Amino acid sequence: MRKGSEIIDKVVITYDVGKKIERIKDLIFDQKRNQLLGFLVKEKGLFRDAKVIPLQEVQAIGLDAIIVNSKESVVDAHRVPAIREILYQNIVLKGTRILTTEGLDLGGLVDLFFDEHSGLVEGYEVSGGVFADAYSGRAFVPAPETLKIGDDVAFVPPETAQMMAEQVGGIRRAVNATEDKFQDSAETANRRLQSSVENAKHILQEARKNGEQRDFLNSDKNK
């Protein structure tokens, strides 16, 4: 899981020729789907479109650089409808207060955490609010299924507050817990896949054995 602010200003390098081409200016994500769509590398100008890198063009998000396929990975924003729509809305989330639909203040949005492989937004870092850590003044808000952005505040379901209340050990522990949960889900899926493969192998072996037995019996009949 990566923190959004850590990506800003990272250099973008092409994989095909190993050339530095841009720097990340901002993240572009769809708050309705909790999904990172790509990165902004050039702001829109008077006579030019914004330049963006769709997430599918990214090979790796490293500690020091973003690796993309080639210089063609940087495209005009209007060529990617989903990104164009987000940029057109011009929503600024940083500093937005997050409230539950029951009116509980969870804090002001400071940052977001996302999975670097899928682009899934897994949670938000907020400052202040009822669950703020006593040491850092920050709290981790697990990404809800819906994040309704308004002019002054963003609304999340009441269940989000319950999940925050169950957090122990501050924001770092909460982030680690979310990472562990994501890892557990991946490992569970992998175990299920492995079990299915082993089961398929067993069935195939049994089928072959039965086939060999039938061939042997048929050969005896023909003698």
pLDDT at 217: 43
Domain chopping of the chain, boundaries:
2-89, 97-179
Q: Would you say the CATH fold of 97-179 matches that of 2-89? A: yes
CA 128/CA 190 separation, integer angstroms: 39
The answer to whether the beta carbons of residues 64 and 10 sit under 8 Å apart is yes
In CATH, what is the architecture of 2-89? Roll (2.30)
Q: Strands of 26-30's sheet, edge to edge?
A: 26-30, 35-42, 51-54, 75-76
pLDDT at 145: 76
pLDDT at 193: 53
- Per DSSP bridges, beta strands 97-100 and 105-114 are antiparallel
pLDDT digits (tens), the chain, 223 positions: 899 999 999 999 999 999 999 999 999 988 888 899 999 999 988 778 999 999 999 999 999 999 999 999 999 999 999 999 989 887 767 788 999 999 999 999 999 999 998 999 999 999 888 787 766 788 888 888 777 888 889 899 999 988 888 765 555 555 565 555 555 555 555 555 565 556 555 555 665 666 555 554 455 445 5
Q: Which fold would CATH assign to domain 97-179?
A: SH3 type barrels. (2.30.30)
pLDDT at 139: 87
